[in-house]
Amino acid sequence: MVKRIVANIKTNDLSKAGHFYHDILKLDVLMDHGWIRTLGNEQQAKVQISFAEQGGNGTEVPEFSIEVDDVDEIYNAMKTAGYEIIYELTNEDWGVRRFFVKDPFGKLINILSHL
């Protein structure tokens, strides 16, 4: 049985994750060995991996999705911080409110809340 799935993002500058993932998304540093830093929290979540032909409503497939309590708050923080919004905040027919943003590593991230 799979217990968890971890996203690994290659970078030459671990500090780039700080503002986006720690300051705005409020993830804690769970591990730091100098060459790898893991951010997260102690929440229990379902193990999921999705395969898609498109990202919904004809959008590009995001690299991964992050579900948050208040997507509007995170959207405003990302815009204020100057991160590139690729798909504007939208209520989707399948019951989520979401937006796509480029993280500091150029990854397309789907940030969402269920309606």
pLDDT in tens, 59-109: 999 999 999 999 999 999 999 999 999 999 999 999 999 999 999 999 999
> Token pair for residue 20?
């986006």
Q: How many CB atoms lie within 10 A of CB 22?
A: 14
- Gap between the Cα atoms of 2 and 5, Å rounded: 8
The pTM for the full model equals: 0.93
For the chain, give the percent of residues with pLDDT over 70: 100
Please provide the CATH number assigned to the domain covering 14-114: 3.10.180.10
Residues 4-28: pLDDT tens digits? Answer: 889 999 999 999 999 999 999 999 9
Cα–Cα distance for residue pair 20/12, rounded to 1 Å: 16
pLDDT for the residue numbered 4: 87
